[in-house]
């Protein structure tokens, strides 16, 4: 299997099989009433099955074929995504930009510095209370890790010298085998609704954030290793990832970026040299597959569920919702922080009492409206290219309006409103292509409810947030 050497910016070259008619067939939007008392008591927490097998015994595992990890990845080595299609300020800006070695990256750790953390640092699965994260180090077992793909475009955003990819120790850093100088690794705590049911605490079960990089443009980029080992949020899973799914995430996230669709990015893909047992089709026939770790990059990995988990835990944790909202606005919505009355952002709610929502008087309402609008824009762009996410749980919804968590996603080969790439979703097709706009609104309703529970917005503002999505 070969990775594409680069991505074209022309969508038809990437997905020529997509029908031009796939942009819209949206069912009538149902009404999602706002329930301000949703979190006044602890919601029911049904058990959500996580069908992930644990790693097999020690030693070099054997696949059914005689292939080894090295032979599987041999043809993948030295694949890159170059930046020929991007013009980020032209040659002049490229010349003035000082590219850095890994040791010289401009690290910042605002998330762990400004938000409450778990006093424990072990990876034993448990409920993590009153905290937004747990400091935990990568622990995936590796043996001769290999760099098999990387993106120079992402490296450019980080101001990382592309020559760093040639370092013999680069795979060691991005497999987690060797600590990266300046990194402060942690796993984020969040909850979420899965298939419409509150699932309680979820969190980064196999993703470990290394920290944030600040570039000369004052852009903040968070680096995260997916498949780097267990965390307190792993539950019964092994915290690992396989090459198959890692290639899918690497390729699709970069493809979506070059299609102009907001998304997380991927800096690099490293094989671990070990095998991981996975039941790909959940049919009781697990097989051993090559392990891998992908370095995901985004300005933030905050999700709707990052706020929901604290609101669900009652009065004691409601202050964390406000703290986390302040953090997001301060670092990722700075224009809202600097908003003033002269901007006159007042809108009629459309209610019979002719009430008005003044967004300049409540930054949290203005922020929630922007989250809703970004989410609506994102879903519209998905519909335009026939992308079906497959798992639109609230823990997979970015507050920045990014495509996040590439799991069982798919693209329409032919127009089929009921298409879902997720076999778990087949009975009800909750997350099928045609339902994505409605599910986006449903998720925004849960997000608005969370902010109202923390008294950041009132009922009218919460309803207006949902109106803005439509």
Active-site positions? Answer: 395
Residue 291 CB: number of other CB atoms within 10 A?
A: 29
User: Considering just the CA atoms, what is the radius of gyration of the chain in Å?
Assistant: 22
What are the tokens at 120? Answer: 């424990």
The residues, any chain, with a CB within 8 Å of residue 101's CB and separated by 6 or more, are: 161, 164
Q: What 3-state class would DSSP assign to 276?
A: strand
CA distance linking residue 268 with residue 256, whole number of Å = 16
- HSE, CB side, 13 Å, CA atoms: give it for residue 278: 16
Largest CA distance in the chain: 73
Q: Cβ(80)–Cβ(140) under 8 Å? A: no
What are the tokens at 23? Answer: 């942009």
CA distance linking residue 335 with residue 332, whole number of Å = 9
CA distance linking residue 76 with residue 2, whole number of Å = 6
What are the tokens at 299? Answer: 């300005």
CA distance linking residue 344 with residue 211, whole number of Å = 37
Least Cα distance to 351 among 452, 467, 457, 440 occurs for 467
Distance of CA 359 to the CA centre of its chain: 28
Distance of CA 120 to the CA centre of its chain: 25
What are the tokens at 315? Answer: 């009065």
Sign of CA dihedral 127, 174, 293, 114: positive
Helices 459-469 & 436-453 angle (0-180, nearest 10)? 160
Whole-angstrom CA distances from 223 to 108, 162, 207, 265, 267 are 11, 16, 10, 10, 8
């Amino acid at each position: 299997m070969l990775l594409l050497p680069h991505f074209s910016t022309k969508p038809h070259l990437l997905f020529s099989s997509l029908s031009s008619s796939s942009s819209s067939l949206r069912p009538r939007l149902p009404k999602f009433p706002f329930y301000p008392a949703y979190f006044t008591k602890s919601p029911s927490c049904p058990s959500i099955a996580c069908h992930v097998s644990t790693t097999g015994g020690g030693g070099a595992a054997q696949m059914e074929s005689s292939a080894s990890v090295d032979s599987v990845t041999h043809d993948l080595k030295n694949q890159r995504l170059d930046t020929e299609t991007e013009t980020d300020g032209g040659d002049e800006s490229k010349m003035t930009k000082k590219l850095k070695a890994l040791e010289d990256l401009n690290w910042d750790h605002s998330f762990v510095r400004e938000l409450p953390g778990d006093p424990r640092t072990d990876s034993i699965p448990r409920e993590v209370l009153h905290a937004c994260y747990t400091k935990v180090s990568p622990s995936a077992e590796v043996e001769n890790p290999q760099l098999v793909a990387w993106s120079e475009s992402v490296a450019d955003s980080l101001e990382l010298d592309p020559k760093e990819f040639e370092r013999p120790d680069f795979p060691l850093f991005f497999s987690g085998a060797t600590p990266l100088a300046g990194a402060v690794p942690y796993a984020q705590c969040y909850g979420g609704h899965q298939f419409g049911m509150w699932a309680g605490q979820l969190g980064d079960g196999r993703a470990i954030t290394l920290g944030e990089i600040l570039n000369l443009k004052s852009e903040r980029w968070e680096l995260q290793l997916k498949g780097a080992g267990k965390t307190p949020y792993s539950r019964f899973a092994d915290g690992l990832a396989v090459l198959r799914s890692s290639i899918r995430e690497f390729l699709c996230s970069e493809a979506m970026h070059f299609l102009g669709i907001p998304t997380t990015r991927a800096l690099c893909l490293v094989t671990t040299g070990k095998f991981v047992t996975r039941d790909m089709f959940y049919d009781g026939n697990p097989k051993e597959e090559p392990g891998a770790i992908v370095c995901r990059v985004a300005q933030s990995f905050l999700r709707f569920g990052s706020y929901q988990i604290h609101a669900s835990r009652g009065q004691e944790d409601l202050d964390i919702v406000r703290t986390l909202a302040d953090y997001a606005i301060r670092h990722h919505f700075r224009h809202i922080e600097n908003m003033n009355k002269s901007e006159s952002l007042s809108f009629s709610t459309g209610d019979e009492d002719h009430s008005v929502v003044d967004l300049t008087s409540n930054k949290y309402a203005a922020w929630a409206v922007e989250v809703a609008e970004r989410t609506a824009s994102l879903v519209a762009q998905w519909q335009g290219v026939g992308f079906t996410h497959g798992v639109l749980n609230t823990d997979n919804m970015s507050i920045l309006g990014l495509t996040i968590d590439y799991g069982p996603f798919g693209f329409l080969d032919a127009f089929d409103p009921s298409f879902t790439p997720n076999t778990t979703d087949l009975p009800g097709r909750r997350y099928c292509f045609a339902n994505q706009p409605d599910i986006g609104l449903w998720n925004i309703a849960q997000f608005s409810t969370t902010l109202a529970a923390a008294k950041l917005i009132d009922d009218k503002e919460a309803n207006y947030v949902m109106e803005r999505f439509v």
